[in-house]
Structure 1
Amino acid sequence: MIKDFVSFANNVLWGEYQVLIYILVFAGVWFSLRLRFIQLRHFAYMFKVMKGSTQGDKSGISSYQALCTGLSARVGTGNLAGVAMAISLGGSGAVFWMWVIALLGMATGFAESILGQLYKVRDDHKEYRGGPAYYIRAGLNKPWLAVLFALCLFLGYGISFSAMQANTITDALNHTFDISSVYSGAVITAIAGIIVMGGLRSIARFAELIVPFMGLAFILAAVAVTLINIQHVPAVLMDIFNSAFGLTEAGAGALGAAIKNGIQRGLYSNEAGAGSVPHAAAGATPVPNHPVAQGYVQMLGVFIDTMVLCSCTAIVILLAQGNIGSEMEGIRITQNAMTHHMGMSGDMFVAIIITLFSFTSVVANYAYAESNLHLFKLDNIYGRTVYTLLYLSMVYWGANATLKEVWNMADMALGLMTVVNISALMLLTPTIVNLTRDYQVKLKATNKPEFKLADVKIQGKTEDGVWS
């Protein structure tokens, strides 16, 4: 019965009706227009705002840690297994549509992250917490919708997403090193437990150490593969664009598959609009001290995740020039492609990288769901203990489940979260626009914007003491 429900929900969200594709494209276009294509106009400023971003305070993590925490959740199986699945099911044209949804998603990610900052609260430890459930409750005064989002988040990030990431790790290690998923799953679960017991700060410190290293290693490998095969790059790029618009031999029949799988896997990778990254954004003390500063930080995260890392995976796979079957093969497509370029060392490299990519997602997913315990007044030792045990049990279950079961549940959870979050973002558009305008006016005037509640008309109210 559960499988039937998951199948029905995914059919509505991703399948026959493709509700999410229309919602996400509309949201990306909407915020791109309302914010005057801020992702293009202020592209260089995204990098500039990271200056001085390594300092936090007793209430919040640093902006750099927030970026790394957001990337640690974004950068996972979607970048390696997800891209491979998109190409497998939608052809090379799916890559183009991943780029499109990322470009539009940068504006959506900007919008949701500044709301996460604005409506953040202090928990029982006087540390910042926030996310869509908080800005739905405080900004829209709709507690029932906030609870609905939080429940979807627990289903997604608290249960299925970490299970799916663990599944990809164990599959890659079994394929390359012949390590039993029973043993690798137990090790993953144990290490994750040690890290998450320290809470958001522990996870943020882990992320800022691992994420830059693993990202740079993968980029350098992809650049090396590209340079070795530089004569084939023009043909690959031409194939991507031709396939994206149904101009190849497969024709229009493949166009729908390219769009659907490119957008679906692009969203799953960069998470723009899903309502996950605002949790990391809300946990930061921004520099400059304005909610919009975190919008730029997390917009940069969308760019790095999809436009850089996903593109690296796509070029490695397409340059392999192998026969990519129609079966859902996940990470093994990427492993086979890297083996083609680098021999057996390529297979081992991907296994190690996917282990790092996915494991950082496993621990970051915990932080996102844990942030919502405060909403239910469960931010205490009993609530955290029960949630942690459930989370770790799902990590171990996922390590030994089948790929299809895990992906289907993850798709449903992500879809439900996105519907609720995008609905809230649309209703809170006036606040998003007003905050952005206030920041940009002050940036021109002083070059160091400082947020004052009295200067901006917002919907609802913020928690006492956070911005006063």
Structure 2
Amino acid sequence: MGLLESFFGLIGDLTWGWSLIPLLVIFGIFITALTGFSQFRFFTRMFRVLSSKNQSGDPNAISAREALLISVGGRVGGGNIAGVAVAITLGGPGAVFWMWAIALVGMATSLVECSLAQLYKRREPTGDFRGGPGRSILHGLGGEFRWLAVIYGVCLIAAFGLGFNAFQGNTVAGAVQDSLGISRFITGGVLAVVAGFIVFGGIHRIAKVADVVVPVMALGYILMALIIILMNITSLPGVIADIVGNAFGFREAVGGGMGAALAQGLRRGLFSNEAGLGSAPNVAATADVRHPISQGITQSFSVFIDTIFICSCTAFIILLGDVYVPGAEGIDGIALTQQSLVSHLGEWSQYLLSAMILLFAFSSIIYNYYLGENALTIMTRSPMALNVLRVAIIGIVFLGAVAPGATAVFFFSDPLMGVLAVVNLVVIMMLLPTCLRLLKDFRQQLAAGVDRPVLHPEEFPDLDIDRTAWTGVDPELAERN
């Protein structure tokens, strides 16, 4: 076991330790420039996904909004509550500024990776769509790169399907036990049963649950933070000044100054919004949309919601309170968020936070499951293998909840997520010219007065596109195909 831990520790050092975060940041800036600052140019268009007028005409298809909410539900989790608190504890208030910065950059990266996932998606016999970096490798780079798709799939299953689901079960069971005194076995059992009901229902049941759960948890948490901001509105300018001042070293709140703020903000921001890590594109590909760039824009919005909205809520809850003391050793993580909330609203609020954590963790569990399922289909189409994966994930959620020490077994999760991100970045780099062609087509249609651009596969004859995935979205397109 010690040898394995050392091996995966080395992988973690080679990825997250010194290379991956700068690469994600630099490449994100590079993509932002090449796409013409797309995350800002299409910013107002992102909100169109919330309107029912922009949903698929097929009632049986996964809509753009449902795919958005699944990915938001997966991105929003412990990282937004505990992770932000850790970033502030180790990096000071300035870490929040760099979390905002990496989110704005990551929005462009997310647009590219999710647009590619949409382009190379495949229609299943059931009528559903499957896609993601694995299929972008197979159909964008070619069959000779199947080995790269297999590496990607194995890392995705191990990191998200198994490891992170154990951590989610552990997080929610611990929070519920601490605040409500409910046994970990009860919480774990409830999580396992409900998760089992959802995952055996497939992507449609996951989408329907996310369409209800995610807005409730996200809007509820944002509303709670807004109440706290209004209660402390006179302190808000000072807090924002601390965030900016500490971010650039004008005010040193913790040891390490600007360097600590930069490192913690970038690291926690990337862990939270997942831009460039290759996870969200798997869900983005399930949506029935008219043009790949449309869903890329929608997934940029997911990054914005995760960091600019949800992470900022946690930051202001902590920084507007009196529990957090810059540079002092003491509570951190989820306990800091919880106690800060209590200092603002009273004891009852910790129970509300526990309910929020339960929803956050649950939405992440079903999201992580789908990532594992989609990765498995790259390697095998066996229904038996799929059911084994479902049962294994339900068991791991329960195990993570009832045995806190069991999560130590999944020490390989973060290093393998690093490998996952490296593979995904390689794919993005190799297929970026293709995405820029799509973006050009999208902009040309907008310039010609087309309000909702449509992909015409015959205009890209050199690309391995599943034509059946792009018929029926527009009557004119259906006739031409």
TM-score, length basis structure 1:
0.94
2:291 and 2:455 in contact (8 A); partners too: yes
1:56 and 1:63 in contact (8 A); partners too: no
Which residue in 2 is equivalent to 1:80?
81
Which residue in 2 is equivalent to 1:301?
302
Q: Is residue 446 of structure 2 the alignment partner of residue 443 of structure 1? A: yes
2:445 and 2:453 in contact (8 A); partners too: yes
Which residue in 2 is equivalent to 1:206?
209
Q: Is residue 33 of structure 2 the alignment partner of residue 29 of structure 1? A: no
C-alpha displacement of 1:398: 2.0
Which residue in 2 is equivalent to 1:215?
218
For residues 243 and 407 of structure 1, the distance between their equivalents in structure 2, rounded to whole angstroms, comes to 35
Cα distance 1:417–1:240, how it changes in 2: closer, same or farther (>3 A)? same
The residue correspondences of 1:64-463 to structure 2 (distance < 5 A) are: 64-141=65-142, 142-249=145-252, 253-286=256-289, 289-323=290-324, 326=329, 329-378=332-381, 380-399=382-401, 400-402=403-405, 405=408, 409-445=412-448, 446-456=450-460, 460-463=463-466
TM-score, length basis structure 2:
0.91
**Unmatched tracts of structure 1, length 5 or more:** none
Cα distance 1:297–1:97, how it changes in 2: closer, same or farther (>3 A)? same
Which residue in 1 is equivalent to 2:478?
none
More displaced 10-residue stretch of structure 1: 427-436 or 414-423: 414-423
Residue 450 of structure 1 aligns with an amino acid whose one-letter code is V
Which residue in 2 is equivalent to 1:39?
39
For residues 312 and 105 of structure 1, the distance between their equivalents in structure 2, rounded to whole angstroms, comes to 19
What do residues 225-251 of structure 1 show as CA deviations (whole Å, max 9, x unaligned)?
Answer: 001011111111111111112222457
For residues 407 and 331 of structure 2, the distance between their equivalents in structure 1, rounded to whole angstroms, comes to 8
1:109 and 1:273 in contact (8 A); partners too: yes
1:112 and 1:278 in contact (8 A); partners too: yes
Residue 181 of structure 1 aligns with an amino acid whose one-letter code is R
More displaced 10-residue stretch of structure 1: 319-328 or 96-105: 319-328
SS at match of 1:428: helix
SS at match of 2:404: coil
C-alpha displacement of 1:420: 0.8
SS at match of 1:190: helix
C-alpha displacement of 1:456: 3.8
Cα distance 1:125–1:119, how it changes in 2: closer, same or farther (>3 A)? same
For residues 239 and 185 of structure 2, the distance between their equivalents in structure 1, rounded to whole angstroms, comes to 39
What do residues 358-405 of structure 1 show as CA deviations (whole Å, max 9, x unaligned)?
Answer: 111111111121112221233x42011111122112212222224983
Residue 24 of structure 1 aligns with an amino acid whose one-letter code is L
- Measured on the aligned residues, the alpha-carbon RMSD in Å equals 2.0
More displaced 10-residue stretch of structure 1: 52-61 or 237-246: 52-61
C-alpha displacement of 1:47: 1.2
For residues 254 and 224 of structure 2, the distance between their equivalents in structure 1, rounded to whole angstroms, comes to 33
Residue 43 of structure 1 aligns with an amino acid whose one-letter code is F
Identity of aligned residues (%): 39
For residues 377 and 9 of structure 1, the distance between their equivalents in structure 2, rounded to whole angstroms, comes to 27
Residue 389 of structure 1 aligns with an amino acid whose one-letter code is V
More displaced 10-residue stretch of structure 1: 73-82 or 391-400: 391-400
Cα distance 1:328–1:198, how it changes in 2: closer, same or farther (>3 A)? farther
For residues 14 and 389 of structure 2, the distance between their equivalents in structure 1, rounded to whole angstroms, comes to 30
2:137 and 2:148 in contact (8 A); partners too: yes
**Unmatched tracts of structure 2, length 5 or more:** 471-480
Cα distance 1:404–1:197, how it changes in 2: closer, same or farther (>3 A)? closer
2:35 and 2:436 in contact (8 A); partners too: yes
2:179 and 2:350 in contact (8 A); partners too: yes
SS at match of 1:241: helix
For residues 59 and 404 of structure 1, the distance between their equivalents in structure 2, rounded to whole angstroms, comes to 38
Between Structure 1 and Structure 2, how many residues are aligned? 462
